[in-house]
């Protein structure tokens, strides 16, 4: 019920019909940069026009065991410059969901998610503008991120080599 309320206010289902075109999709409020493996440079990746939600995974499992990245053919991987997704490869798979309906069909394996990139790190710059809040989720825990009209909010996700200080010996 809570997610349904959020989707009606910021738009999985109703925004395409009800809001200003400048507020539709993430391309108007989000800049995404990625670091390829063994690179220190950030590279800007365009957010597809149709994408309404960005997901970054380092596991095959999402949303109660679904695999939205999918098992891609070697031809598709080569064409897009991707490698086969593995948990221990140091890469996160970044894909987009277009609308609530698209996300629903992806979760029941009827269609695939929009493949965007594979990277060792991702940096999201969210520009508030007309939006007062951004709805985010990390490891299954959702939160409402306050947005500033004048300043950007940055979210950076990168792989850490050790999960705890005890494991790393520090």
Q: pLDDT tens digits, residue range 48-82?
A: 888 888 888 887 777 777 778 878 889 998 998 88
In a domain, 20, yes or no: no
Q: pLDDT tens digits, residue range 97-131?
A: 887 778 888 888 888 889 999 999 999 998 877 77
What's the predicted TM-score (pTM) here? 0.77
In a domain, 92, yes or no: yes
**How many domains would you assign to the chain?**
1
Q: How far apart are CA 134 and CA 70, in angstroms?
A: 27
In a domain, 167, yes or no: no
In a domain, 27, yes or no: no
Q: Domain range spanning residue 54?
A: 1-15+32-158
Which strands, in side-by-side order, build the sheet including 53-57? 53-57, 92-97, 114-119
Distance of CA 3 to CAs 10, 57, 78, 155, Å?
11, 21, 37, 22
In a domain, 21, yes or no: no
Phi, psi dihedral angles at 119 (to 5 degrees): -155, 165
Burial of 161 (0-12, 13-18, 19+ CB in 10 A): exposed
């Amino acid at each position: 019920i809570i997610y349904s309320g959020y989707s009606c206010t910021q738009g999985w289902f109703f925004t395409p019909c009800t809001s200003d075109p400048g507020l539709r999709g993430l391309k108007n409020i989000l800049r995404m940069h990625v670091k390829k493996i063994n690179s220190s440079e950030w590279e800007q990746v365009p957010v597809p026009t149709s994408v309404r939600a960005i997901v970054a995974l380092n596991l095959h499992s999402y949303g109660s065991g679904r695999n939205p990245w999918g098992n891609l053919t070697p031809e598709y991987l080569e064409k897009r410059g991707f490698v086969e997704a593995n948990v221990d490869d140091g890469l996160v798979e970044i894909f987009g969901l277009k609308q609530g309906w698209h996300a629903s069909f992806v979760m029941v394996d009827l269609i695939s998610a929009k493949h965007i990139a594979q990277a060792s790190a991702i940096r999201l710059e969210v520009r508030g503008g007309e939006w007062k809040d951004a709805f985010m989720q990390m490891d299954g825990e959702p939160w409402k991120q306050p947005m500033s009209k004048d300043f950007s909010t940055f979210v950076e996700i990168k792989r850490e080599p050790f999960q705890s200080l005890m494991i790393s010996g520090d």
